[in-house]
Amino acid sequence: MEKAKWTLPQVVFLALLAFLFGAVFMGAGVLYALLVSVLTPFGLTPFANEILFGMWTIAAPVAGMLIPKMGSAVLGEVFAALAEMLYGSYFGAGVLLSGFIQGLGTEVGFLVTGYKRYDSVTLLYGAIGTTVFSFVYEFFKFGYGTYGFGMVAALFLVRFASVCFFGIFLTKQIVTLFHKAQGVRVSR
């Protein structure tokens, strides 16, 4: 399979995914604000980001699985972040850098498998990459260094669980439903 050349239908499909996931990301922003208000009285505000984090990263694994091309995970996440920004996200243009880092982490999963596997193993590698890359970035961005080791470890583990849920379990469900809608036989 040619991994570098893109067809027009793939580009259009990527744009559609970005448009749809940009809306999902906007919804995640609303959920984030609600979760912050619930967790703040308990001193657990940072967990709002971690609990929902996988929702903000789902465009990358879905794009990577449905468009088996080098760079599709990065492009899917960055374009979804762009759509979120254009929809009016209160996170502003910063979502573009976050989207790039998140997409790059997922892309590592496909890279490690040589763009030959499109399964749970690849998604797990991508979830690890996304969690590590994004956590290192946000460790400095959000000042997680001011927390004790236990808090940092808890934030990391909650983020990883969220990324695994959205980036492996939910992504597989979306991909399976997409293939069923197309009449493609899906092996588990």
User: What local confidence, expressed as pLDDT, does residue 2 receive?
Assistant: 54
- Tell me the pLDDT of the chain (188 aa) as tens digits: 456 789 999 999 999 999 999 999 999 989 999 999 999 999 999 999 999 999 999 999 999 999 999 999 999 999 999 999 999 988 889 999 999 999 999 999 999 999 999 999 999 999 999 999 999 999 999 999 999 999 999 999 999 999 999 999 999 999 999 999 988 766 55
User: What local confidence, expressed as pLDDT, does residue 187 receive?
Assistant: 57
Q: Which residues are within 8 A (CB) of 119 and not within 5 positions of it... i.e. 6 or more apart?
A: none
Rounded distance, CA 153 to CA 183, Å? 43
Per domain, the residue ranges of the chain are: 8-182
In the DSSP assignment, the letter for residue 3 is S
User: What local confidence, expressed as pLDDT, does residue 186 receive?
Assistant: 60
Coil, strand, or helix at residue 22?
helix
Side-chain half-sphere CA neighbours of 105 within 13 A: 26
How many other β-carbons are positioned within 10 Å of the β-carbon of residue 181?
8
User: What local confidence, expressed as pLDDT, does residue 1 receive?
Assistant: 44
Side-chain half-sphere CA neighbours of 57 within 13 A: 37
